[in-house]
Amino acid sequence: MTEPLTPQYHPAQIERDLYRWWMARGLFTARRDSGARPYVIMMPPPNVTANLHMGHGLNNTIQDVLVRFERMRGREALWLPGTDHAGIATQNVVEREIAKQDGKTRFDVGREAFVARVWEHVNETGATILDQLKAIGASCDWSRTYFTLDPDLSRAVREVFVRLYDKGLIYRGNYIINWCPRCLTALSNEEAEKEDQDGHLWHLRYPLEAGGFLTVATTRPETMLGDTAVAVHPDDERYRRLVGTRVLLPLADRSIPIVADEGIDPAFGTGAVKVTPAHDPLDFEIGRRHGLPAIDIFTPDARLNENVPERFRGLDRFDVRRMVVREFEALGLLEKVEPHRHAVARCYRCETVVEPRLSEQWFVKMAPLARPALEAYRDGRVRFIPERRGDDYVQWMENIRDWCISRQLWWGHRIPVWYCDAPGCGRTSVARTDLEACPGCGGPVRQDEDVLDTWFSSWLVPFSSLGWPDETEDLRAFYPGDALVTAPEILFFWVARMIMAGLEFMGDVPFHTVYLHGTVRDTRHRKMSKSLGNGIDPLEVVERFGADALRYTVVSGMAVGTDLILDPKDLDTSFATGRNFANKLWNAARFILNNLEGQTRPLAGRSPDVVRTEELALADRWIIARCDATVRTATEAYERYRLNEAAGAIYHFLWSDLADWYIEQVKPRLYGDQPGGDVARAVAAQTFDVALRLLHPIMPFITETLWKRMPGRPPEASISTAPWPSPDVRAADGAALRDFALVQEVVGAVRQIRAEYGIQPGASVRLRLERRLPSVISELGTIQRLAKVAEISFGTPPAEPGGHAVLSDGTGLFIPLGDAIDIERECTRIGGEVNRLRRLIDGQQRKLNNEDFVSRAPVAVVEAERTKLASWLEQADALAAKLDLLGCGDGSRRTGGRNGD
RNA sequence: GGGCGAAUAGCUCAGCCGGUUCAGAGCGCCUGCCUUACACGCAGGAAGUCGGGGGUUCGAAUCCCUCUUCGCCCACCA
């Protein structure tokens, strides 16, 4: 690391090696015995088969920023990574694979061989996403990486199943569940995503046995083949006489009763509803209330089964829908068809339209678990960022429905239930370890065929990943954790359930803060996705711009509660700021480091003590004060999860303050032709050091690289465990901030006049200031150099053509321009400025003359407003005087103006 | 059908509890500069009636109402 820095920053050369070095040093491994307070974040475990996309990039960058921030603040940081076996998703991938390769289904392969095949796939491609996370700098504790199907976590799953079963919170039963006809499994309510869709409302006539018709309205005509009743509201006058009579169900030629049920809304459709207990939740309830049979008319893949007339059998549900409508029409029984927009549920994994289906499944009774979880939110043990997300949580918890946890899949945790088929026994056993025989009769048992919902293992992760149900050291040390960072999409799938499980099994919430960030979208605000082809590959970004540029872009581009919009078609624009900033940093470091040779002052630490106060120039005091202010702003922003604000504050400090002003100011001193070089070197090094540390959570690679090159750094030292800078009252130097701002104003005013009149860059000008401002005098050389001023004099400007300006404190400023001056132009320029000030002054005077304002507004506010007015008046007067001088004044000066001191 | 959020320069967004920014940043754009850290740079500049309308207030981008447009969450109206 001794070769000189190149003029351009090339992240790729550095990042990989640096990450290895971090790993080798074990910097991300959490220690139980450090004595430091732990800070724990559980990574939302990506699916085993997943590849890193921008969503992961965003999610994990935020987590890494928080973790690195707390680590530097002295917490024992544990960011625990893992992967999720992702039942349906992974099984689908492998099913597609064998279908493509061998043209086989999983049933052709057989359960055991299929599961073996999935394991093979998982072992091959399993943890690639975790490796990809390393490329963006994720400081996870890889030594504790878990997989949700690991033996330890599987043991936790069984333990939980048994405990909930024993407590009566797990039950098995026949209910209408969401069925995916493509994945061939039950889904939970959360896994069935509803989406409004344009459809139709078909009005079908059912012939009354007594003659005439009763018209029902339906969005799914095909289900009429499973109808076992028609229901009307008991108070519906139109149908009251018909209740108790029967209709002849067309096509199926069955006689079915007309029943009265409170659940019917007389105002919708015709007020008469066809009842299909096997294929609709409401109909199922009605069926139960009236003792109606349920006729299942579908096969698992949503074709019509043997319970319907021959001609429909084996056909797809949507084809049958069309056939049924056609046949009703032919029979003159189709009354009308209305366009109708309604919610259609789709499988969250394959988007197939979900079919409500009556089947026997396992459920978790959720209400008893929800109560404490709701309580924990209400009394503040869990909070959400942004806060409003808490409303979603409450709504879900308050209307919680039982959780269907069985899946007709092969990939996952097998349900730990064994059935005994022995005649006279028939016992159902739930067990922590596999059963060989029935505990009741000793006869042979068979295990339930189904597996558990993937989320049934995920919801335990905050403690199962730490060794639960054993009382491990890790569990004692790292539960409960601190923050949970994720996308709002999995609030119910995962976050809410983790809170429930934490309270139920650990007696405490798993984290106190849930930070729900936005979604990565393209410029048309569409979610980035593989199918839309609008994704951005984070690895490509890392390759081209560096991980730090990616991270900076992501962090600075997203405020709390907003989405991150990126343009997949223009990566250069999207990531330029981050890359440019890294390059700027690199070059600032190049400058500072190259000039540190021969440094005699100590550089460690950051307090102003490193140099004696009386030796500090105004610029030194100013940059130290700015640095201190940045420490305060950035620290508070990190604490409040306002990462974009932290990024902005540090960016501004490094670029505008340190690079544009301080480094420019300091050059002569460093080049040795002026005294105070050591002081400048020490201050530059020290403030840069602080800024690097503030920035490290966001841009870990470049900050580490540069920090390590600072003189006197032990080779094993890492910025990632360097102490977080703390604010210093002695550095908060308000006077220095004000005074140097005036210096900046002078330079700015001169530059503006120069640009306005197109003065050659090489040419210097003379500057006349009306007052001998102490701050200006102390930085005369700075002004001369940065504004290219040959000579500064003080006093009333001479009566000659030139450019004029007024500083915010009312001090006039003049640059003689001789022939270069364009009087008219100058008059217009200054006149505009005067008018602007006059408008402000008018408003301000109205405000201050207003009795209500003066009496009601806080004294401090009124005082500040008075000061502002005075300053504007002074500026306006000074400028008006200048207009007079140029011969274009309107004689409107309010006072006599001011003369030089 | 309920509930919520957003609408600020060409683009992506900051502007928290109304006065202490006379509306800001980055990118883009225009004008000069290869000034020995950086052209992924430096200096200067143009650009917004803060979505429309109404209200509260001495004072509103900032609070209230309403409309429009886009999102999101929830929901067994077939």
Nucleotide nearest to A875 (CA to C1'): B22
Q: Which residue is nearest to nucleotide B13 (CA to C1')?
A: A557
A114's tokens: 């299929």
Distance CA A534 to C1' B16 in A: 34
Q: Which residue is nearest to nucleotide B20 (CA to C1')?
A: A864
Distance CA A343 to C1' B1 in A: 11
Nucleotides of B under 7 A from a protein CB: 2-5, 11-15, 19-20, 22, 25-28, 31-33, 35, 37-45, 57-59, 70-78
Nucleotide nearest to A659 (CA to C1'): B37
Lowest mean pLDDT among A222-231, A331-340, A802-811: A802-811
Q: Does A707 score more than 80 pLDDT? A: yes
Q: Does A778 score more than 70 pLDDT? A: yes
A316's tokens: 């797809």
pLDDT tens digits, A787-825: 888 888 898 877 777 788 888 777 888 888 776 666 776
Q: Which residue is nearest to nucleotide B18 (CA to C1')?
A: A857
Closest to A579 (Cα-Cα) out of A554, A548, A537: A548
Query: What average pLDDT score do residues A754-760 get?
Result: 81
Nucleotide nearest to A396 (CA to C1'): B74
Distance CA A221 to C1' B28 in A: 56
Q: How confident is the model at residue A889 (pLDDT cuts 50, 70, 90)?
A: low
Paired with A272 in beta bridges are: A232
Distance CA A843 to C1' B58 in A: 12
pLDDT, residue A901, reads 29
Q: Does A607 score more than 70 pLDDT? A: no
Residue at token pair 């007696």: A507
Q: Sign of torsion, CA A374 A379 A383 A386?
A: positive
Q: How confident is the model at residue A510 (pLDDT cuts 50, 70, 90)?
A: very high
Question: If 0-12 CB within 10 Å is exposed, 13-18 middle and 19+ buried, where does residue A219 land?
Answer: middle
pTM, full prediction: 0.90
| Better pLDDT: A557 or A370 | A370
Q: To 5 degrees, how large is the angle CA A382–CA A455–CA A500?
A: 30
Distance CA A776 to C1' B35 in A: 23
Q: How confident is the model at residue A602 (pLDDT cuts 50, 70, 90)?
A: low
pLDDT, residue A603, reads 47
pLDDT, residue A349, reads 83
Q: Does A890 score more than 80 pLDDT? A: no
pLDDT tens digits, A442-497: 889 999 999 999 999 999 999 999 999 999 999 999 999 999 999 888 888 899 99
Q: How confident is the model at residue A860 (pLDDT cuts 50, 70, 90)?
A: low
Closest to A54 (Cα-Cα) out of A544, A648, A490, A550: A550
- Cα of A362 vs its chain's centroid, Å: 34
pLDDT tens digits, A51-96: 888 889 999 999 999 999 999 999 999 999 999 999 888 998 899 8
Share of chain A above pLDDT 90, in %: 46
pLDDT, residue A673, reads 59
Q: How confident is the model at residue A135 (pLDDT cuts 50, 70, 90)?
A: very high
CB A413 within 8 A of CB A543: no
Average per-residue pLDDT in chain A? 87
Q: Which residue is nearest to nucleotide B26 (CA to C1')?
A: A577
pLDDT, residue A81, reads 96
Q: How confident is the model at residue A552 (pLDDT cuts 50, 70, 90)?
A: very high
End-to-end alpha carbon distance in chain A: 56
Query: What average pLDDT score do residues A575-597 get?
Result: 88
Q: How many CB atoms lie within 10 A of CB A472?
A: 16
Lowest mean pLDDT among A330-339, A393-402, A746-755, A854-863: A854-863
